[in-house]
Amino acid sequence: MAMTEWMIRGPEIASCNCSYGCPCQFNALPTNGDCRAAVGIHIEQGNYGKVKLDGLNIAATAAWPGPIHMGHGEILPIVDERASPEQREALLKIMSGQDTDPGATFFQVFLSMCEKVHEPIFKRIDFAADLKTCEGHVRVPGVVDLTTTAILNPVTGNPHHPKVSLRAGFEFAEAEFASGTASSAGPIKLSTSGKHAHLAKLHLTGHGIVH
């Protein structure tokens, strides 16, 4: 069966329970041994085949009992309630790693490391991201609340803005690293404060990052 071509472009916010920097970005083990995370994306421009995805938001919460590459994870897909039935189907296919080369996107990698995918939720997703200040949020009422701010220098209190670029990543080419606080009342529990977060401009297809 032929692969449906797709593309999404727009800002992303992600935060996990690890210390600033996120050891995953450096092929190291999670700070506390496990991984619990939340992510949100605003699709400025996108399509799945002929289905337009412009202006929609998607989000997810996820957890793994150990490093992600050891598997046994669970994930909750969250899709913009404004999406039409065709758009919902398209977004869930992208988010589940379908129509994607193996290892090409974080959607495909993360889903391949999950043994449980919760029933998708269709709700309002409030999203805002300022990559210059690192201020942002992903809010899904009654499900997840994620906010980001710049990391602050502990001596001066001034904003600290590290940026990381990856030559061969499967999520982003470069990202601003920040401080994230997240809570979740959904099936995947989150409760973090002042942990790793990153904000990035994504440009992905089923074949990976567009450079």
The predicted structure's pLDDT at residue 1: 72
The predicted structure's pLDDT at residue 108: 97
Distance, in Å, from the CA atom of 184 to the CA atom of 74, rounded to the nearest integer, reads: 14
CB-neighbour burial class of residue 122 (10 A; exposed 0-12, middle 13-18, buried 19+): middle
Domains of the chain (ranges, CATH numbers): 6-206 (2.40.400)
Distance, in Å, from the CA atom of 22 to the CA atom of 198, rounded to the nearest integer, reads: 9
Distance, in Å, from the CA atom of 51 to the CA atom of 191, rounded to the nearest integer, reads: 36
The predicted structure's pLDDT at residue 2: 85
The predicted structure's pLDDT at residue 172: 97
The token pair that represents 124 in the structure block = 């309002």
Q: What is the b/e burial string over 49-58, where b = at least 16 CB atoms within 10 angstroms of the residue's CB?
A: eebbbeebbb
**Tens-digit pLDDT string for the chain (211 aa):** 789 999 999 999 999 999 999 999 999 999 999 999 999 999 999 999 999 999 999 999 999 999 999 999 999 999 999 999 999 999 999 999 999 999 999 999 999 999 999 999 999 999 999 999 999 999 999 999 999 999 999 999 999 999 999 999 999 999 999 999 999 998 999 999 999 999 999 999 999 999 9
The predicted structure's pLDDT at residue 186: 87
User: Residue 12 carries which side chain, given as an amino acid letter?
Assistant: E
The predicted structure's pLDDT at residue 69: 94
User: Residue 20 carries which side chain, given as an amino acid letter?
Assistant: Y
Distance, in Å, from the CA atom of 139 to the CA atom of 171, rounded to the nearest integer, reads: 21
The predicted structure's pLDDT at residue 7: 98
Alpha carbon distances (Å) from 203 to 102, 153, 182:
17, 31, 25
Which H helix or E strand runs over 36?
strand 35-42
The token pair that represents 129 in the structure block = 């991201």
The predicted structure's pLDDT at residue 136: 98
